[in-house]
Amino acid sequence: MARIRITVSVKIFALAVGLLLLMAIVAILTARMTGTVDAQLRTVAENYDPASAELGRAAAFSLERALWLRRVVIEGLDDGAQVTELAVAKTRLEEADAATTAALEKARKHINDQIRDPLDFHDNVALARLDTMLQMLIERRDTDYRRYADAAMIAAAARDRASLNQILPELDRERDALNGRLQEASEEMRRISEQAIDGMRRYQRRTVQTSFVMLLVAAGLGLTVAAAVTMGVVRPIRRLVAGAAAIERGELDIVIPVTSRDEIGQLGDAFNRMIEELRAKERIRSTFGKYLDPRIVEGLVDRPELLSAAGERRLMTVLFADMQGFTSISETTTAQALVTIVNRYLTLLSQPVRDHHGIIDKYIGDAIVAYWGPPFCDPAEQAVQACLAALEMRRQLDRLREELPDLLGMKRYLPEISVRIGIATGEAVVGNIGSEFTKNYTVMGDSVNLASRLEGANKFYGTELLVNEATAMAVQGRIDLREIDRILPVGKSEPQRVYELLGPIGKAPPELLARHKRFAEGLEFYRAADWGEARAIFTSLASEDPTSAIFAARVEQLQQAPRENWAGVWTLTEK
């Protein structure tokens, strides 16, 4: 079953709607409770207060009735009283009597309305008792009072003072009892009203407290949901940031867990796919880096624009390095031992090339072909870097000689291992060379062939590191050199000056420099065909310098068979 994809915008919108709903619920509940308080206020205003007022009026009308009753009695006993005055007093007495009853009935009506009101202040029982009390006042007490009042008026009209004197005390007693009941009812109504107001105040305080609690609950719930949604969005982003930092550190084994189907989840999926592609490219680099230089692999995979597919002419420095005596070594060691020696030899001598920004072009058996130049190396430094790499390769060969006993498992009859290196700087064609099926990013041209010839020329001069004149000029002031000869390699029409690498400036021993200076003097005599002086110098150096020994033999040969048009150029007949 497919999962429903909820976007980040929908989550944010749902969060906002949820918060609005919470606030709306709090507002509605608060409004309802506030409405209850308003209804309670209206109840007090419409029932409690009017009932109390009517009871007060009933008490006042009762007193007024008692006064008018006295006036009627007095007017009835007075022989000189006017008939109209007596009639007015009786009318006022009747009006006060009716007003008292009406006020009591209105008070009962408000009380019964309050009893029927759904807003209950828990005072309905007290109100019912008060209503019963008022009903008894109307039905019993008021009736007794009226009966004595009627008797008093009859006695007054008959001028029966003896009867009136008996009736008036009873009348006063009934009046006082009635007024006491009315006062008691008023006090009870006031007490009930006060209780109702106190209940309303308590409810109002409870309303405020409840509203505050609901607001806190809504805020807490809203913050919790908001935090959950926010963390649901932020946590994957933090994972992406951590993943990006891990990739920056080169850690490509990381996988970002995808826990949502929104845009963040899609971004996580894309991030994981990107990591897979990076891992695939890294596998390509690690695999093909063993067959091609990693920088060429990087260019082919990531930046193909740096590597010309059509080929370009550039100034390059090419190095050829070959193990001397490989044939004799292969004949005297087993196949396994030979492979072990060659692999270790190539490993040790390849490292200086990479350390000095060179590109290993290929391995030809035990030979190493490397080059320096753009875009892999600064053109101004390419010759210096190539020469420094060659000097380091010679030092690495000393390390290989130390390891031979462990590699072969023997300490005696160890093979002699040495290296011949030729370096040439010049114009070369650089690009992807090959068929439609297989290509190689390599260099071609005269400088490549010259480097190969110089590597082979070492065996004719007893040297190990020979460079052409262009290389010597490029490293002048950085590396000590010794001019060896002017040669015409096989396949070349122009003679080449060749030089031997000695080491970085200032590191060669003084006696070696003095010997090479002496060799240069002999070379001048040699080129001037002054065979006697040349032979004397070369012979004096022959015991310490194989190259001088070779030149001494060559000078002796030239003395015996002089050449016409001698220009100091020696033609090589072998590659």
pLDDT tens per residue, range 184-223? 777 777 887 777 777 777 777 777 787 777 778 777 777 7
Residue 434 lies in a domain: yes
Mean pLDDT (whole number) for 460-486: 94
Mean pLDDT (whole number) for 13-36: 74
Tell me: do 391 and 402 sit in the same domain: yes
Mean pLDDT of the chain: 79
Q: Is the pLDDT of residue 291 over 60?
A: no
Tell me the CA end-to-end span of the chain in Å, nearest whole number: 75
Distance separating alpha carbons of residues 410 and 413, to the nearest angstrom = 8
Lowest mean pLDDT among 91-95, 273-277, 303-307, 535-539: 303-307
Tell me: do 388 and 469 sit in the same domain: yes
- Whether the bond between 257 and the residue before it is cis, its omega within 30 degrees of 0, is no
Which range of 20-24, 54-58, 72-76, 484-488 scores highest in mean pLDDT? It is 484-488
Asked whether 391 and 356 are in contact (CB, 8 A), the reply is no
Q: Is pLDDT larger for residue 486 or for residue 432?
A: 486
Mean pLDDT (whole number) for 20-35: 75
> Which 3 state secondary structure label does DSSP give 416?
coil
Distance separating alpha carbons of residues 573 and 575, to the nearest angstrom = 7
Lowest mean pLDDT among 170-179, 417-426, 471-480, 490-499: 170-179
Residue 273 lies in a domain: no
Residue 419 lies in a domain: yes
pTM for the structure as a whole: 0.56
Kindly indicate the confidence band of residue 368, based on its pLDDT and cuts at 50, 70 and 90.
very high
Residue 257 lies in a domain: no
**C-alpha to C-alpha distances, 333 to 165, 327, 344, 497, nearest whole angstrom:** 165, 10, 15, 38
Tell me: do 531 and 488 sit in the same domain: no
For 357, phi then psi, to 5°, come to: 65, 25
Token output for 1: 């079953």
Mean pLDDT (whole number) for 307-316: 74
Closest alpha carbon to 92 in 73, 75, 74, 67: 67
Kindly indicate the confidence band of residue 289, based on its pLDDT and cuts at 50, 70 and 90.
low
pLDDT score for 76: 61
Residue 529 lies in a domain: yes
Distance separating alpha carbons of residues 432 and 300, to the nearest angstrom = 10
433-466 as b/e: b if 16+ CB within 10 A = eeeeeeeebbbebebbbbbbbbbbbbebbebbbb
How many CB atoms are located within 10 Å of the residue 220 CB?
10
What CATH number does the domain containing 404 carry?
A: 3.30.70.1230
**Residue that is last in its domain, among 481, 508, 535:** 508
- Structurally, the chain folds into a number of domains equal to 3
pLDDT score for 573: 76
Residue 480 lies in a domain: yes
- Contacts for 388 with CB less than 8 Å, ≥ 6 apart: 352, 356, 479, 504
Closest alpha carbon to 275 in 294, 258, 300: 258
Q: Is pLDDT larger for residue 498 or for residue 60?
A: 498
Share of the chain above pLDDT 90, in %: 24
Tell me: do 23 and 55 sit in the same domain: yes
Distance separating alpha carbons of residues 528 and 510, to the nearest angstrom = 27
Tell me: do 495 and 515 sit in the same domain: no
Asked whether 314 and 372 are in contact (CB, 8 A), the reply is no
Q: Is pLDDT larger for residue 447 or for residue 435?
A: 447
* Residue 306 DSSP code: G
Kindly indicate the confidence band of residue 304, based on its pLDDT and cuts at 50, 70 and 90.
low
Q: Is the pLDDT of residue 425 over 90?
A: yes
Kindly indicate the confidence band of residue 37, based on its pLDDT and cuts at 50, 70 and 90.
low
Tell me: do 375 and 498 sit in the same domain: yes
Asked whether 318 and 424 are in contact (CB, 8 A), the reply is yes
Tell me: do 371 and 520 sit in the same domain: no
pLDDT score for 1: 42
pLDDT score for 292: 57
Residue 486 lies in a domain: yes
Mean pLDDT (whole number) for 158-177: 73
Closest alpha carbon to 443 in 300, 289, 318: 318
pLDDT score for 60: 79
Q: Domain range for residue 90? A: 8-229
Tell me: do 433 and 551 sit in the same domain: no
| DSSP collapsed to 3 states, 115-178 | HHCCCCCCCHHHHHHHHHHHHHHHHHHHHHHHHHHHHHHHHHHCCCHHHHHHHHHHHHHHHHHH
**Residue that is last in its domain, among 229, 253, 272:** 229
Per-residue pLDDT reduced to its tens digit, 369-397: 999 998 888 899 999 999 999 999 999 98
Amino acid at position 23, single letter: M
Kindly indicate the confidence band of residue 8, based on its pLDDT and cuts at 50, 70 and 90.
low
pLDDT score for 561: 83
Tell me: do 122 and 24 sit in the same domain: yes
pLDDT score for 79: 56
Region label for 159, one of left (φ > 0), alpha (ψ between -120 and 50) or beta (otherwise): left
Lowest mean pLDDT among 35-39, 59-63, 333-337, 348-352: 35-39
Which range of 178-187, 298-307, 534-543 scores highest in mean pLDDT? It is 534-543
Closest alpha carbon to 294 in 310, 283, 279: 283
Which range of 364-368, 397-401, 510-514, 546-550 scores highest in mean pLDDT? It is 546-550
- Give Cα 35 to chain centroid, integer Å: 50
Token output for 466: 């020979």
Distance separating alpha carbons of residues 570 and 487, to the nearest angstrom = 5
**Residue that is last in its domain, among 508, 530, 549:** 508
Token output for 159: 């001028």
Q: Is the pLDDT of residue 46 over 50?
A: yes
Question: What is the DSSP annotation of 531-556?
Answer: HHHHHHHHHHHTTT-HHHHHHHHHHH
Kindly indicate the confidence band of residue 139, based on its pLDDT and cuts at 50, 70 and 90.
low
pLDDT score for 256: 73
Q: Is pLDDT larger for residue 288 or for residue 36?
A: 36
- Contacts for 341 with CB less than 8 Å, ≥ 6 apart: 329, 333, 400, 404, 407, 408, 415, 417
Which range of 190-199, 253-262, 527-536 scores highest in mean pLDDT? It is 527-536
Tell me: do 323 and 444 sit in the same domain: yes
Tell me: do 13 and 93 sit in the same domain: yes
Residue 88 lies in a domain: yes
Pairing of strands 312-324, 569-571: unpaired
Mean pLDDT (whole number) for 462-491: 92
Token output for 557: 């040969």
Half-sphere exposure of 364 (CA within 13 A, CB side): 10
Q: Is pLDDT larger for residue 8 or for residue 429?
A: 429
Mean pLDDT (whole number) for 44-60: 75
Asked whether 470 and 399 are in contact (CB, 8 A), the reply is no
Per-residue pLDDT reduced to its tens digit, 544-560: 999 999 999 999 988 88
pLDDT score for 297: 58
Tell me: do 486 and 357 sit in the same domain: yes
Distance separating alpha carbons of residues 269 and 253, to the nearest angstrom = 15
